[in-house]
Amino acid sequence: MSPRRKDNGHAARDRAAIVSGRRTPFARAGGELESLDVLELARGPAVELLAGLDLDGSDVDAVVFGNVSRPVRYHNLARELVFAANLDRSTPAYTVSLACASSCQAFTNGVDLIERGYARSVLAGGVESLSNVPIQYSPRLARTLVRASRAKTPLAKAQTFATVRPADLAPVAPAIKETSTGLSMGESAELMAKVNDIGRREQDEYALASHQRAAAESASRQAELAPVYLNGSTARAVTADNQIRSDTSLEKLSALAPVFDRAYGTVTAGNSSPLTDGACAMIAMSERHAAERGLQPVAVVRSYAYAAVDPAGQLLLGPAYAIPVALDRAGLKLGDVDVIEMHEAFAAQVLSTLRCLESDTFAEEELGRVSQIGVVDRDKLNVGGGSIALGHPFGATGVRVLMDLARHLHERDGTFGLASVCAAGGVGCAIVLERVA
């Protein structure tokens, strides 16, 4: 049987629209979801999303999924999801990795497919299981195991291990560090806090607001959560995010010790996003196709932009460069935006980005503009909390941010929304949405 032709050639352009999204509850790594791998995590929200929209496997023209800590057993996780979610087996699918912006990349790749007329409907999302990161062997042991697998006799296999030393047996755990600088994300956040004069109290106050806002919105967020059933049993299900601290306080946050610079640092576990397991899935369609299927989109994509900075400088400042470009492409100013969702890797990173957006000096020296991009109204920013409270499964966060942005646009009767995500390597992403009434 030949694959179905889904390529619409050079059809007239049609705007890409977000129809709906679902996600798992986000759980602290090593906690409630640790027994599930990335494919099991991704399958749940994908299946529930399609069922909720009354779409079947043949209604998806392409699958693009983000994942950072790649499991060895899945060479192409998105393609495995096609089978696991019972989509049409001829559906093309591919996996992308752009650190914390991976599912942003998955989503905007889907947008491009739709607006080029190459797909009518795309399942985009992301997933991460930081409870189950791949653990590597030492290089010497890895090479030895390869040689042993090729040996013809038991004696030859045994002889290949003669050069292995006890130290070679220690596993090599992955490190969240920049290859080019050797600095961890947290160390880079400390640098940003110092460069931009972001104090400890300001970071803790920001983190407290994230938890308070997330706790206040738990009920309205619940409809988007796809329960995760453990061990195939409906008797054991994870149904809610488990990292929101409704009982935290400024006093509790201020009592935590710095993690990355113990002597002079300001970045703590309390004002940073926690390592998290979780998955998100979203259906994007052309406006025309959504109308044909009788589906009401929640928002259309007005524009997007990616930017990058030198990792040796302010690693997580990419959004400050991407946001002005995305706004220009949308024909908007920052003041035209009604809701802003900004990924909270660290409070220091968010506050540094805000400082730069409101700085004339930054605009002139870094962006070549005559004046600041604008001052962000805090009442419009992360109104339901962010990654500090909700958690941060690397491959999934981008679509979570977009889901929250679309929902808040409707709840606040807004017109335009702005999402941004920083990522390792100095990359930043910004996406502008327009609410569909």
Give me the catalytic one of 104, 280, 356, 422. Answer: 422
Q: Is 87 helix (H, G, I), strand (E, B) or coil?
A: coil
User: Which residues have C-beta within 8 Å of that of residue 54, sequence separation ≥ 6?
Assistant: none
For residue 331, with 0-12 CB atoms within 10 Å meaning exposed, 13-18 middle and 19 or more buried, which class applies? exposed
Q: Is 128 left (phi over 0), alpha (psi -120 to 50) or beta?
A: beta
Of residues 100, 104, 356, 429, which has the active-site annotation?
A: 100
Residues contacting 51, CB < 8 A, separation 6+: none
Calculate ∠ Cα 81-86-90, nearest 5°.
Answer: 80
Active-site hit among 356, 392, 408, 429: 392
Q: Which amino acid is at 93?
A: A
Q: Is 67 left (phi over 0), alpha (psi -120 to 50) or beta?
A: beta
330 token code pair = 């949308």
How long, in residues, is the chain? Answer: 437
Closest CA to 176 of 99, 94, 247, 101: 99
And the tokens for 349? 């990173």
Q: Which residues pair with 420 in a beta bridge?
A: 342, 430
What is the DSSP track for 213-251?
HHHHTHHHHGGGBPPEEGGG-TTSEE-S-S---TT--HH
104 is catalytic: no
User: Known catalytic residue: 392?
Assistant: yes
Q: How far apart are CA 404 and CA 397, in angstroms?
A: 11
User: What would the DSSP string read from start to end of 25-85?
Assistant: PPEETTSTTTT--HHHHHHHHHHHHHHHTT--GGG--EEEEE-SS--TT-SSHHHHHHHHT
Burial (CB count <10 Å: 0-12, 13-18, 19+), residue 372: middle
Q: What is the DSSP string of 246-291?
A: TT--HHHHHTSPBSS-TTT---BSTTBPPBEEEEEEEEEEEHHHHH
Per-residue DSSP letter, 415: S
In angstroms, the first-to-last Cα distance of the chain is 42
Catalytic residue numbers?
100, 392, 422
